[in-house]
Amino acid sequence: MSTKPDVIRKCLQSACLVGLLITGILSLDCNLLHFHLRKVTWQNLRLLSSTSSSFPVECLRETKAFELPQEILSHTQPAKRYIKEAFYEMSIQAFNIFSQYTFTSTWEKDYLKQIQIGLDQQLQYLEQCLEEEEKEKEDSKELEEDGMNWSGALVPQLSNLELRRYFNRIDNFLKEKKYSHCAWEIIRVEIRRCFYYFQKFAALLRKK
């Protein structure tokens, strides 16, 4: 067994941790949230595409449509808060799915850890910004907007529910396939596709 890949993996892991921490420290400004979200999401997407092997031909027979929510696919322009909440939901779900990786697939373990680190940092960023928005909404004038948003907040809650259902389908698929190699390959492709739409979704935070 060669020790060189192990050394590289250790260095890679440490470097990524340092880099992400530095990026996280420098990017706590909620005004730059969209930049951070877009960048981290794209990095995860690229990591999911950097597998050395191509999709197995034999796994083509086990593919499944997981039905990503239409709100994400249609590129509509919902409220900023909904976008943040959607990001938060997606990050949590994806993080949980990748946490179930038992390293029995052909993926590189380090790549998967990098993805988890990015998602975790993204979650921390989102939590901070969402709390700041909650504090701002405690103003008396915004109570009326809350009333208005309360009725509108039902829509984001429903959309988050759809996201949860989406990731539940993914999780169930893994369980049904017993976390097989083809299942993980299929999930990898699907989550990569999800990350792509969320990256476009993050651009909407910059416009508003």
Q: What residues between 23 and 52 interact with other proteins by CB under 8 A?
A: 42-43, 45-47, 49-52
Residues 69-128 that bind other proteins (CB under 8 A): 75
Site membership for other proteins, residue 130 (CB under 8 A): no
CA proximity to 108, closest of 43, 51, 49: 51
CB of 48 to other proteins, least distance (A): 9
- Is 207 a binding residue for other proteins by CB under 8 A? The answer is no
> 111 and 50 in contact (C-beta within 8 Å)?
yes
Cβ at position 141, least distance to other proteins in Å: 35
Interface residue with other proteins, options 12, 32, 130, 153 (CB under 8 A): 12
Task: Determine the interface stretch with other proteins among 100-108, 115-123, 151-159, 191-199 (rule: CB under 8 A).
Answer: 191-199
Judged by the rule CB under 8 A, the positions of this chain that interact with other proteins are: 3-4, 7, 11-12, 14-16, 18-19, 42-43, 45-47, 49-52, 54-55, 57, 60, 63-66, 75, 186, 189-190, 192-193, 196-197, 200, 203
